[in-house]
Chain A
């Protein structure tokens, strides 16, 4: 990254900052902070307030918490949630690391193409993916038939309705996140260091484990944190793919709020969920430092003893793996397994694409049900989709909401990113913490909290309410993308233009904007995509009257599962894929293949 080197001295010595920016840059983050304070932090705090008040008398009461902690069932569910999240995280890292490593070694061009495929499941609705797995792994599904044919008993095991299916579904969804978080850290590792280690006598494997693996650890840690926190809020996948023992806390919160209308208890559960997510982040920050999540790489001052323990653990891991792999290498007598990694990577990408590819034939089917393989080709369900005013109005609303969300989020995030790039690290840390908040707090909690606030502001069942809600959800991703763009920008070019006599406006118009335009547009498109396929907030804010496309798909699943669902998801997928393609084209190569 050419820009990073140029930027650091500027930040370190504010005296060199161009004068016109100095007093104002920090202020640029203020609109964003206010927006998030009003529509994210305030509602969440309000929800916690509800959880400690008696709904009838409004007096202070811990009844919600007493119930949550008193009945073992909710503690069991909470424990379940943590165990499933930890298992998912471990699987994501385990399977994602080799893929990220492989991607890091490719040329930028090939890499960006492949990342598009890796990202597909991330942008496919959880609902659609779950149904695709239900069809594929069914008792008489394709996989079971193949397994039955090769197994000696002729009986295929039950692939669904258990912990295994839940973990597979969740890992499948979050693996792209893990890969894309580890990748930038790996890309920054100077491969020359491994060669250097080699010239000093390190074996190939030693070079990898002691140097590369060690240096990639910050990325692994960041990926683990993001996966873990994202896992905590899952509710669709465990409900559809899991068995009776796989209940997660998100399902219980939705039941309490939507079906039982118990805000106090639902709020208490939500507070416990957020509390545990924050605790995870806090511990993480003490051990590894949160800035890693934002892609700051491993450059951090060696801090207190906790952080040193963290580093020691990482080093221990490296040494352990070195020992194991050396032992393995001795047994295998130097046989080279260079082909294993590419094969593995291609297989894994194939696995990631399965549900998405399955949707196509299920949409163009002649069957009345979601079936694979389809009994025949038919356009009936596409006709149903395009002929239904319900589906069409939902689709149009999704476009409208996303079209309003994207510029709003891009503007707010862009200003804040500029503030971070051009002001001191202390301010930057605060802005970062607030802007990453909507990732740390599970979306289900944000959605419930916003519903509570928006109902008072008359924003439930309005397009404006949806836009505000989606902007909050889209801000982190947009912000991180913008920060990356601005980091990649060489501010010395602006300075050079200024010393040559260009006015501020001229610098902005002819130097800054043209250079960062692509990246900003990409961030805007990410915000659009996020809004376009967002379900959780829409579930609460749309109020049944302003249905978005993902919400309509959700309703459809409750009412009738037929291939219209697949037809609609083909449309969503086509839109998202096209926009993603454009976004990747627009991003400058230095930030491409980088963050989400």
Chain B
């Protein structure tokens, strides 16, 4: 190679060699084993119960799941750049997919067509990626503070006179811009492309009333559960955890901002056919319904609701009761805009 490779790629090359060692050893049994990178912890356990174990039973192919770093993007780039594949299938969000396909493509085209995965909603499917569950940012309020008559939409969340109380928001521009626009009167289906200036003007109004800017999902559960704040934005499954534990709280689904968990494969990975088989398996409505018993995320195959009891369905983002005004977080908009908007958001936080 005449020119020196890019510094970061150089760096990643080294990291891959480490990751490669177990792969080389494990490769002998490639056909009978699939390695999946997920987020570990409760997420990994739920996937094992709903998808991995049934897949093993159905196909005889063993699934080994490893915990990928909080950001799997670097891990996949290393693997592709060095051709040292350790993980066959990764749990990814569309945000990861955007980072993995711009400017260079690092994702394997799986040639996934709607006919391959019948029932999966088209907006949750791409040729190189299939969403298996939907998680949504909603807001929740304490019923011991507002009774049953809490705020019902983002405009009312913004209305501190009518609904006084301590509030918390996520400390990132993501989702906050969307809800700020909806609070300012933009209909939920007209949010994108976003008017950033208008969003910040709207955020200016709520800023003095935000007591906590949370940074991790667990922190948001803690805020709601302990009553540290009276209303906050929160991932719906996180809010449900607090409610299941007895916290007097209610979730408001109007104008929820949804995103996906799903499966993608590193470009050029050796086990593509088995990976494809696994991904198709995950579109099965019965499996997706089973997943909702352990994790309160919504299925991407709406046929799953046929077998989900209505009281559980009411807790899920994609159920008929809740998906009426659900907005899908647009990674194509955010991809090029995130960095400058984040810088503006950070500066905005320090002001005033």
Contact = CB atoms under 8 A, between A and B. Distances in A.
Contacts, number: 143
Given A369-B245, A456-B11, A544 B70 contact: yes
Interface stretch (B190-198, B280-288, B327-335, B341-349): B341-349
Given A58-B6, A244-B350, A245-B350, A545 B13 contact: no
A1 interface: no
B82 to A, nearest CB: 11
Contact of A261 (B68, B73, B349): B73
Contacts of A239: 215
Given A55-B7, A140-B227, A543-B69, A245 B15 contact: no
Contact of A244 (B73, B213, B222): B213
A579 B223 CA distance: 36
B11 A455 contact: yes
Interface stretch (B39-47, B122-130, B297-305, B307-315): B39-47
Interface in A454-494: 454-462
Contacts of A557: 216, 218-219
B4 A73 contact: no
A53 interface: yes
Nearest to A243: B213
Nearest to A139: B228
A545 B19 contact: yes
A261 B74 contact: yes
Nearest to B350: A76
B347 A72 contact: yes
A456 B10 contact: yes
A500 interface: no
16 contacts: A73-B343, A135-B226, A140-B227, A158-B211, A160-B212, A161-B211, A258-B71, A261-B73, A454-B14, A456-B11, A461-B18, A544-B69, A547-B67, A557-B219, A558-B218, A559-B42
Contacts of B346: 73, 77, 247, 252
Contacts of B226: 135, 138-141, 369, 371
Contacts of B13: 456
A118 to B, nearest CB: 29
Interface in A199-250: 239-240, 243-245, 247
Contact of B15 (A160, A161, A543): A543
Interface in A551-595: 555-561
B259 to A, nearest CB: 16
Contacts of A263: 7-8
A50 B41 contact: no
A559 B41 contact: yes
Contact of A460 (B7, B18, B342): B18
B20 to A, nearest CB: 9
Interface string B213-234: 1011111011001111100000
A558 B216 contact: yes
Given A139-B227, A139-B228, A370 B40 contact: no
Contact of B42 (A80, A258, A560): A560
A77 B349 CA distance: 11
Interface of A: 50, 53, 55-56, 58, 71-73, 76-77, 80, 134-135, 138-141, 158, 160-161, 239-240, 243-245, 247, 252, 258-263, 368-371, 390, 452, 454-462, 543-545, 547, 555-561
B171 interface: yes
B277 interface: no
A390 to B, nearest CB: 7
Given A56-B6, A461-B15, 14 more contacts: A55-B8, A77-B346, A139-B229, A141-B226, A239-B215, A369-B222, A456-B13, A458-B14, A543-B15, A543-B69, A555-B41, A555-B70, A556-B41, A556-B218
Interface residues of B, number: 54
Given A260-B339, A462-B18, A73 B217 contact: no
Nearest to B214: A240
A194 to B, nearest CB: 49
B96 to A, nearest CB: 12
Going nearest first, the 5 A-B pairs with the smallest beta carbon separation are: A73-B347, A544-B69, A561-B218, A456-B14, A244-B349
A458 B8 contact: no
Most buried by A among B13, B68, B70: B70
Interface in B1-54: 4, 6-8, 10-15, 17-19, 39-43
A243 B14 CA distance: 39
Contacts of B61: none
B18 A458 contact: yes
B343 A555 contact: no
A369 B238 CA distance: 13
Nearest to A456: B14
B227 A247 contact: no
A456 B17 CA distance: 9
A462 B22 CA distance: 12
Contact of B17 (A134, A158, A260, A458): A458
A369 B242 CA distance: 9
Contact of B70 (A247, A261, A558): A558
A559 B10 contact: no
B66 interface: yes
B135 to A, nearest CB: 14
Contacts of B75: 544
Given A58-B7, A72-B347, A460-B15, A559 B217 contact: yes
Contacts of A71: 343, 347
B224 to A, nearest CB: 10
Given A140-B226, A259-B71, A457-B14, A560 B41 contact: yes
Contacts of A139: 166, 226-229
Contacts of A558: 70, 216-218
Contact of A368 (B11, B41, B245, B342): B245
Given A73-B346, A239-B215, A561-B219, A58 B19 contact: no
Given A244-B171, A263-B7, A561 B222 contact: yes
Contacts of B6: 55-56, 58
Contacts of B245: 368-369
B70 A245 contact: no
B231 to A, nearest CB: 13
Nearest to A452: B11
A461 B21 CA distance: 11
B68 A544 contact: yes
A331 to B, nearest CB: 43
A545 B20 CA distance: 12
Contact of B19 (A141, A370, A461): A461
Given A55-B8, A461-B19, A161 B212 contact: yes
Contact of A73 (B41, B225, B241, B350): B350
Contacts of B343: 71, 73
Contacts of A240: 215, 219
B40 A555 contact: yes
A545 B66 contact: yes
A50 B217 CA distance: 33
A462 B18 CA distance: 8
Contacts of B69: 543-544
A349 B295 CA distance: 44
Contact of B350 (A77, A262, A368, A371): A77
A58 B222 CA distance: 45
Nearest to A542: B69
A260 B71 CA distance: 10
Most buried by A among B6, B74, B222: B222
A121 B152 CA distance: 45
B72 to A, nearest CB: 9
Nearest to A246: B350
B97 to A, nearest CB: 15
A138 B228 contact: yes
Nearest to B74: A261
Nearest to A544: B69
A548 B24 CA distance: 25
A55 B5 CA distance: 10
Interface string B121-160: 0000000000000000000000000000000000000000
